[in-house]
Amino acid sequence: MTTKRVVEQHHETFEGIRQFDADGNEFWITRQLAKVLEYSEYRHFQPVIERAKESCRNSGHAVEDHFEDVLDMVDIGSGAKRQIADIRLSRYACYLIVQNGDPSKPVIANGQTYFALQTRRQELNDNEAFARLSENDKRLAIRNELAEHNKHLAAAAKDAGVETPLDYAIFQDHGYKGLYGGKGAKDIHAVKGLKKSQKILDHMGSTELAANLFRATQTEEKLRRDKVHGKQIANQTHFEVGKKVRQTIDELGGTMPEALPTPEKSIQQIESAKKKLEKKK
């Protein structure tokens, strides 16, 4: 079976155990998820759940909004049933669980990408204000969010040993090469026909910016979660995350980032035009 088919099968399995309550809210059950994630015994899965709860708490979210203790009835043979403790999970909780799982398991590695991407998509879909924005306004919103996340990524990289400006430039280049199929910053500049002084991120459409935002947020999380130390390992981590995002785009039938069109106007031109309009009002 091809790697792509294995990934698709895992994705189908995650969706296959999804349930809905009476109000149409989706949820997953931990004991079912543990089996899908190939944990032989539920007790081995419980520490993963606890780490996920801690991540939820540290991110500023209320644990009870995403991890709900429930009692479930299970068959014990001869038609008899008994109650067991279980946990009802939101999609975000599933995302945190796979992020805290054993990455050596292929199903965990694929689940990390799947739930991260689907969670981000759901956030954007749920944001009606974002959905109503024009392409230029979407670009501005994502570019601003990416600028903020790049600060967090730089801090995580520094903690990992990426200290000098040159170190960080090399670190960033590894992320681009993973996402852009081997193309680094200079190559992307050339593809977009940009001058050396122009910033790549200011000449991307919303789809390309979103891919880079995903790359940045996931790299920051992985650097911190795996307690990466050493600039070479940090560089490789950034490359692998970029490569994984690229793989996911391919699996979903999307356009590779280097093949996406370069917008006619830069972010600076859009901002300048908006300021002029505001002055006229």
Q: What is the pLDDT of residues 145-201, one digit of tens each?
A: 888 889 989 999 999 999 999 999 999 999 999 999 999 999 999 999 998 889 999
Mean per-residue pLDDT, 256-270: 94
Q: Distance between CA 75 and CA 96 in Å, rounded?
A: 29
Provide the β-strand partners of residue 71: 85
Mean per-residue pLDDT, 214-228: 90
pLDDT at 109: 64
The answer to whether residues 96 and 76 touch, using CB atoms and an 8 Å cutoff, is: no
- Chain-centroid distance of CA 275 in Å reads 33
* Edge-first strand listing for the sheet containing 80-89: 19-20, 26-29, 80-89, 67-77
Least confident of 20-24, 152-156, 216-220: 20-24
φ/ψ region of 91 (left if φ > 0, alpha if ψ in -120 to 50, else beta) reads alpha
Cα 39 to Cα 70, 108, 164, 189, distances in angstroms: 20, 10, 42, 45
pLDDT at 116: 63
3-state DSSP percent of the chain in helix, strand and coil, to 5: 65, 10, 25
* Between 189 and 79, residue with greater pLDDT: 189
Q: Does pTM surpass 0.85? A: no
Indicate whether 62 pLDDT > 60.
Answer: yes
- Chain-centroid distance of CA 210 in Å reads 10
Q: What percent of the chain has pLDDT over 90?
A: 48
Residue 124: pLDDT band with limits 50, 70, 90 = low
CA angle 156, 157, 159 (to 5 degrees): 65
Indicate whether 126 pLDDT > 70.
Answer: no
pLDDT at 3: 36
Strands (E) located in 116-249:
none
Q: Distance between CA 109 and CA 104 in Å, rounded?
A: 7
Mean per-residue pLDDT, 243-248: 92
* Between 117 and 175, residue with greater pLDDT: 175
pLDDT at 8: 43
pLDDT at 168: 96
pLDDT at 245: 92
* Between 66 and 111, residue with greater pLDDT: 66
CA angle 208, 209, 210 (to 5 degrees): 90
Phi, psi of 79 (to 5 degrees): 80, -5
Reference 211, options 188, 234, 241; nearest CA is 241
pLDDT at 67: 96
Least confident of 129-133, 214-218, 259-263: 129-133
The answer to whether residues 31 and 73 touch, using CB atoms and an 8 Å cutoff, is: no
Phi, psi of 80 (to 5 degrees): -85, 155
